Amino acid sequence: MSGIIEFRAVAKQYGDTRVFDDLNLDIRQGVTTALIGPSGCGKSTLLEFINGLQRPDAGTVHIFGQPVPALELAEFRQRIGYAVQGTGLFPHMRISRNISLLGELDGWSREAIRSRTRDLMALMALDESLENRYPHQLSGGQRQRAGICRAMFLRPEILLLDEPFSGVDPLMRRDIHRRFLTLLGAEIATVVLVTHDMEEATRLGEELIIIDAGKIVCQGQADQIQPDSEYLAKLFGHGDPS
């Protein structure tokens, strides 16, 4: 079974630390895949191989059946949404512009930008009144939802999420998860989610890939993996990573 994202014999080293050595992995289209593992296991690096923020020392990464291009990366990246922990919303732009910047740069009409922004905000339960606020005027949870709206704006074929829901209190996080699943239902994209939270992984992920020390420990559909197995308990310390 080949996927929309294919890692073949990927190796990466930082100084003396070897992060990956001959990693092979397929990520399937139209499915939410959760990459789980303790911090420092290399899961964020894997994500950054996909949008070309980092390059493997050896091996290949294929996306859409093509290797990650060396040039014209900007255009390529617009097909891949990206939302991260801490959101990285631009502090000098109002929320609506943060969300719609890519549409503006892509030459969308004012009306198209407006309606897309409103739709996304509604899906993520962001009140219209927040449009003209600056990021610092929003709560942590609102900012994270706005970050996801921004990543979804151009209807990317792949959405990369790097711990986008961490740092919010658990109740709030559950709410964001619900919103996010609604959004997925409406937009249908291939999602790669990096998290260290098993509960989040099982709630959002259809496919789970567990990584430890640069190796794939276990890969399978969410309902086939026993979160309370002995190995995982050791890995995540009773399923509570924090």
Partner 1 sequence: MSRLIVVSILWLTIPTALAAQTRPIVIGSKTFTESYLLAEMMAQLLESRRIPVERRTGLGGTLVAFQALLSGEIDAYAEYSGTISQVILNMDSDSTEGELAAALAPLGVDLLPRLGFNNTYALTVTRETAAQYALGNISDLTDHPELRFGLSHEFRDRPDGWPGLKQAYDLPQDSSGIEHGLAYQALLESEIDVTDAYSTDGDLLRYDLVVLEDNLEFFPSYLAVLVARTDLDTDAKEALSLLADRLDDATMRSLNAEVVVEERTFAEVAGAFLLGQGLITSVQAETQSLWPRLGRNTLVHLKLTGIAVLLACFAGLGLALTVYRSPSLSAAVLYIAGLLQTIPSIALLALLIPIAGVGQVPAIIALFLYSLLPIARNAITALLTIDPLLRRVAVALGLTEIQQLRHVYVPLALPHVLTGVRIAAVVSIGTATLAAFIGAGGLGEPIVTGLALNDTGLILQGAIPAALLAVCAELFFEGLERWLIPRHLLSAKISG
- Of 183-212, which residues contact partner 1 (CB under 8 A)? none
Taking residues 50 to 79 in sequence order and writing x for each that binds partner 1 by CB under 8 A, - otherwise, the string is: -x-x-------------------xxxxxx-
136 is written with which tokens? 């610092």
Instruction: Identify which of residues 34 and 47 has a Cβ nearer to partner 1 in the complex.
Output: 47
What's the 3-state SS for the chain? CCCCEEEEEEEEEECCEEEEEEEEEEECCCCEEEEECCCCCCHHHHHHHHCCCCCCCEEEEEECCEECCCCCHHHHHCCEEEEECCCCCCCCCCHHHHHHHHHHHCCCCHHHHHHHHHHHHHHCCCCHHHCCCCHHHCCHHHHHHHHHHHHHCCCCCEEEEECCCCCCCHHHHHHHHHHHHHHHHHHCCEEEEEECCHHHHHHHCCEEEEEECCEEEEEEEHHHCCCCCHHHHHHHCCCCCC
Q: How many CB atoms lie within 10 A of CB 112?
A: 13
Taking residues 158 to 187 in sequence order and writing x for each that binds partner 1 by CB under 8 A, - otherwise, the string is: --x---------------------------
Task: Give the Cα separation of 96 and 117 in Å (integer).
Answer: 7
Instruction: Identify which of residues 18 and 79 has a Cβ nearer to partner 1 in the complex.
Output: 79
Instruction: Identify which of residues 84 and 201 has a Cβ nearer to partner 1 in the complex.
Output: 84
CB 177 → partner 1: shortest distance, Å? 22
CB 154 → partner 1: shortest distance, Å? 8
Taking residues 2 to 41 in sequence order and writing x for each that binds partner 1 by CB under 8 A, - otherwise, the string is: ----------------------------------------
Task: Give the Cα separation of 94 and 229 in Å (integer).
Answer: 46
Binding residues for partner 1, total number by CB under 8 A = 25
Instruction: Identify which of residues 130 and 235 has a Cβ nearer to partner 1 in the complex.
Output: 130
Taking residues 119 to 158 in sequence order and writing x for each that binds partner 1 by CB under 8 A, - otherwise, the string is: ---------------x-xx------------xx-------
- Of 76-115, which residues contact partner 1 (CB under 8 A)? 76-78, 80, 82, 84, 86, 88, 90-92, 101-102, 105
Q: Which residues sit at the interface with partner 1, rule CB under 8 A?
A: 51, 53, 73-78, 80, 82, 84, 86, 88, 90-92, 101-102, 105, 134, 136-137, 150-151, 160
